[in-house]
Structure 1
Amino acid sequence: MTPGLMLSRIAARIPHRTAVRHGSVTRTYADLFDHAARFAGLLAARGVRPGDRVALMFDNRVEALECYLGCLLGGFTAVHVNDRLRPPEVAAVLDDARVSLFVGSTGDPDLLVDNGFADLLARHAPLPAVDVGGDRPAIIGYTSGTTGTPKGVVMTHANLARIIRHMPVHYGLRVGSRCAFTGTFSFVAGIWGVMLPHLFLGGELSFLAGLPADEWIDRMVAERSQFTYVPSPLAPAFTAEVRRRPEVLRTLTGVLHSASAMRPEVMADLVDAVGDRFVETWGMTETGAPVTATVPGDWGPDCAADDVYASTGRPVHIATVRVVSPAGEDLPAGETGELLVNSETLFAGYHDRPQETADVLRDGWLHTGDVGRVDAAGYVYITDRLKDMVVTGGMNVYPAEVERALAAMPGVADVAVFGAPSERWGETVVAAIVAAPGAEITVEAVANWARERIASYKKPTDVMLVDQLPRNAALKVRKPVLREAYRNR
């Protein structure tokens, strides 16, 4: 059964239950799915056919969820566009996806979702849910590659249904779970990994992104929240507020962290405050669901992990993890190599990129590009990346893309971008720049130049001026040398 049919049947059983709230805006299940079906009818009236691709770019709002659900109900392929992208980046995604319609609340979409959207929906008849083939693309989430070009990660209807069913197991979610959702629509994984599974459980979503920790906890107490997500930068403040208002623990059953590194001492303090409610996971857009996760018993004294606070837990029941050498040989426990993953929720491939799909999906195994090890007890540790990606605040930044933007800046003769440790964000973006003769390069100037051309989270937060970039015999920049020089400067 497709996710659209599956979720609409659940909604029909609990029409009057609250499904989602955002400030003063609330939707019952009946309201939410009526609006979604009318959005599907609107798309059909504009000539969009099942299987056609519809780009969706939203800030946080209830209407965004209605549009994603409408695409699932009508059999249209939703193309997720990060609302933090700059116009040239958005254009690259739209061009690659070849969309039939661009819908959103920001930017310059074909259909703007604003205050008159409800009236527009009311003028269209609901489109009944269609049962499209399970192998048809349901959602395409774009992620840049190591070359800095966008790649569409394809999740089929069948794959999405598996993700939605499995997530409650990974996160320990219960039927009717009330979720204090601190994520945004910038992350496609938040849609299929948190929002849709909660609707599958007949639960309630409350959008809380951007609230300071005290208001976040206050809302959780008032709404009797059972599940929330804690980004790395907010973990210390969240921990302090839980101790200030311990009554939040009366209903809270799950506290999730993922996407970016959290310092072990910060994680230990958080676990001390919330106990075995805490869940740490590792995954990526291409895996759909988590690959590894901790379980409640991991936080007790009998845990067999080498260092559970440095680990991402053990492989979940639907996934297998291998550690391999550069030659592809399996490595024993404790040795470091590339992590390969086999899982029931792996993506179908990159949109219209068969060679890049074949490069990472080989014999059913996803070559993640992450480097790590597995200890004797089966706990997985991520230690580095083969790919040159920087993860800052949970967002993926690809240096090649930033380098292209900075190379055009007046006064920049040569540039290399890399990640450096950050207590707040896990990693931060640093640019090593060779200045042209007589040029003056400042951090502020570089950040401003980048901000006008790429998403703000990708901009360098620090600049290291160098006489020349270190290169190997193949003229490739030796970024480990730059990282070491940055640490020691």
Structure 2
Amino acid sequence: MNLVEPLLRYAMQQPDKVALSDGQVCNTYSSLVMKMKKIAQGLQQNGLIHDKVVILSTNRIEFVEVFLGAIYAGCVPIPLDPKWSATEINAILQQCQPRMIFTENTFTEFLINQDSGISLFTFSDEEIGSYDNWLDTLKPEAEIDDTNELLFIGFTSGTTGMPKGYMRTHLSWIKSFEATREAFQLNNMEHILAPGPLVHSLSLFTLMQSLYSGATFHIVNQFNASKVLQLCEQIPAAVLFVVPTMIEALMKKAIPDQTQIQALISSGGKWSEASKNRCQEVFGGAKLYEYYGSSEASYISYLDIRSEDKANSVGKPFPGVQISIRDEYFQEVPTGRIGQLYIRSDMMFKGYYQLPEETAAVFRDGWLMLGDYASMDHDGFLYMAGRAKNRMVSGGLNIFPEEVEAVLEQIPEIHEVMVFGMPDTYWGEQVTALVKWNGKQRLSIEEIKNYCRQYLASYKAPKQLITVDEFIYTSSGKLARQAMKDYTKRVIL
């Protein structure tokens, strides 16, 4: 089984239909399949058999070409986030040991002390990069490899803060495509946008769903609400997969009832009821869906905003998804009672890459433990009670405060620090640092951000600093996080 097989059929049935467009360059299905086969031949000629191929790139057509070519060849693509620090990127390269790396010229400086045995190809906008030269030497003659169960390895931040790899299989994504088609009931999925970074599972999954369905995927290099709306004017009946912060930005720029969007599908963070209500007014004719999922579980539940009056719910389970809410003894809790959320489906991931203990920790008797607490009503609708431990979600991205604190604690001017998510109408949660300073010296928020950028992805750096005189501790001497959060929110809000 190989997920890209339908593309071969589309290249025969609709060769001139645009598969990918970035607004300047288009790849038809026939040209995309030709490049996919060329890249696969290049990998196989270099002796890559189920080996790993790293892609370190922003949103661009070459990203997609390499991702597809690696899958076609039976290799395992690993997309890495250019927003990560050099330390994070090189730690993952050391862990994965890829045979090839494809990146933009800008990011080659991140790749320090790489093994000379790793082939490196670069994308370039200003001139012909080594990737283009390499592609010109290849022929589209590779045979498809359908023997590798593993589709790709994505990376998401773990509880320790360092990114950890989640392994997805071909079957898990094919089952996810089927669940989406059945749940959302979209009549015309011809033009699809997911304007977030392709290295994130929401946009990457949407890209592959678009191609698997024979639609046109429109690549947006970087999210800009005005540009996305302009694009939607050019391609009526577009389907957008977005996070709530993007919806907020789109509503500020859109003219009510004049944007011809077929559907807005939101995930990556809780969509507030106030925002949903405004969205129904601004995008009057659009279908509106919210869904709950994760990189590990894929689709879990979904809500039709216009037809289902279930305030604060994340919806009912997708077709094929079983949900169980249990107590600390792994016993089912009564309907309406809050407990730890477990799910089971054919869409679940295979496990964490080279982390058997962490993989075992999230599986129990075939059920996947999500680390979230939830309840379910008598109609089968799911309600989230809170995220496990201290995880924050800002702009649809997971952030763990312990990772940020470990960096801030290295700053001499800081005596003690606690990081948490302050509620924010735009970001969902704004990364906030409570700081007890050493002496009278204070640092500005920009100085803090600049320091963090050396070690953290930019979105993880604090956006707000609050000075405190003392921290509250529990009787056992631990930092009382919830008490500090409650106190701060009372004072600030």
| TM-score, scaled to structure 1 | 0.91
Q: Tell me the distance in 1 between the aligned counterparts of 2:268 and 2:257.
A: 27
Q: Tell me the distance in 2 between the aligned counterparts of 1:266 and 1:176.
A: 25
Correspondent of 2:279 among 270, 278, 302: 270
| C-alpha contact 1:146 1:388 (8 A) present in aligned 2 | no
| C-alpha contact 2:20 2:26 (8 A) present in aligned 1 | yes
Which amino acid letter does the alignment assign opposite residue 227 of structure 1? V
Total equivalences in the alignment: 475
Q: Tell me the distance in 1 between the aligned counterparts of 2:12 and 2:473.
A: 62
Correspondent of 1:203 among 215, 222, 225: 215
Match of 2:457 in 1: 455
Q: Tell me the distance in 1 between the aligned counterparts of 2:473 and 2:360.
A: 30
| C-alpha contact 1:175 1:202 (8 A) present in aligned 2 | no
Match of 1:481 in 2: 483
Q: Tell me the distance in 1 between the aligned counterparts of 2:235 and 2:18.
A: 12
Q: Tell me the distance in 2 between the aligned counterparts of 1:21 and 1:458.
A: 31
| C-alpha contact 1:430 1:463 (8 A) present in aligned 2 | yes
Structure 1 residues 207-222: aligned runs within 5 Å:
207-210=219-222, 212-222=224-234
Match of 1:323 in 2: 325
State the identity %: 24
Structure 2: tracts of 5 or more residues without a match: 112-119
| C-alpha contact 1:372 1:382 (8 A) present in aligned 2 | yes
Correspondent of 1:415 among 414, 417, 442: 417
Q: Tell me the distance in 2 between the aligned counterparts of 1:83 and 1:51.
A: 24
Match of 1:54 in 2: 53
Q: Tell me the distance in 2 between the aligned counterparts of 1:371 and 1:321.
A: 12
Q: Which has the higher helix share?
A: 1
Structure 1 residues 247-326: aligned runs within 5 Å:
248-249=259-260, 252-272=261-281, 273-274=283-284, 277-288=287-298, 290-295=299-304, 299-300=306-307, 303=308, 305=310, 307=311, 310-326=312-328
1:146 aligns with 2:159: yes
Match of 2:116 in 1: none
| C-alpha contact 1:86 1:453 (8 A) present in aligned 2 | yes
| C-alpha contact 2:190 2:215 (8 A) present in aligned 1 | yes
User: Secondary structure at the residue paired with 1:482?
Assistant: helix
1:191 aligns with 2:201: no
Which amino acid letter does the alignment assign opposite residue 320 of structure 1? Q
1:384-433 CA deviation, whole Å, 9 max, x = no partner? 11132111001111112211211211212222221111111001111222
Q: Tell me the distance in 2 between the aligned counterparts of 1:487 and 1:217.
A: 35
Gap change, CA 1:173 and 1:85, over 3 Å in 2: farther
Match of 2:146 in 1: 132
Correspondent of 1:159 among 153, 172, 195: 172
| TM-score, scaled to structure 2 | 0.90
Q: Tell me the distance in 1 between the aligned counterparts of 2:145 and 2:410.
A: 49
Residue 176 of structure 1 and its aligned partner are, at CA, apart by: 5.3
| C-alpha contact 1:322 1:330 (8 A) present in aligned 2 | yes
Match of 2:132 in 1: 118
User: Secondary structure at the residue paired with 2:446?
Assistant: helix
Gap change, CA 1:245 and 1:42, over 3 Å in 2: farther
Match of 1:352 in 2: 354
Which amino acid letter does the alignment assign opposite residue 184 of structure 1? P
| C-alpha contact 1:87 1:107 (8 A) present in aligned 2 | no
Which amino acid letter does the alignment assign opposite residue 425 of structure 1? W
Superposition CA RMSD, Å:
2.2
Match of 2:13 in 1: 13
Structure 1: tracts of 5 or more residues without a match: none
Structure 1 residues 384-423: aligned runs within 5 Å:
384-423=386-425
Gap change, CA 1:475 and 1:342, over 3 Å in 2: farther
Q: Tell me the distance in 2 between the aligned counterparts of 1:74 and 1:474.
A: 56
User: Secondary structure at the residue paired with 1:3?
Assistant: coil
Moved more, 321-330 or 351-360: 321-330
Which amino acid letter does the alignment assign opposite residue 146 of structure 2? V
Gap change, CA 1:28 and 1:400, over 3 Å in 2: same
Gap change, CA 1:448 and 1:241, over 3 Å in 2: closer
| C-alpha contact 1:342 1:365 (8 A) present in aligned 2 | yes
User: Secondary structure at the residue paired with 2:284?
Assistant: helix
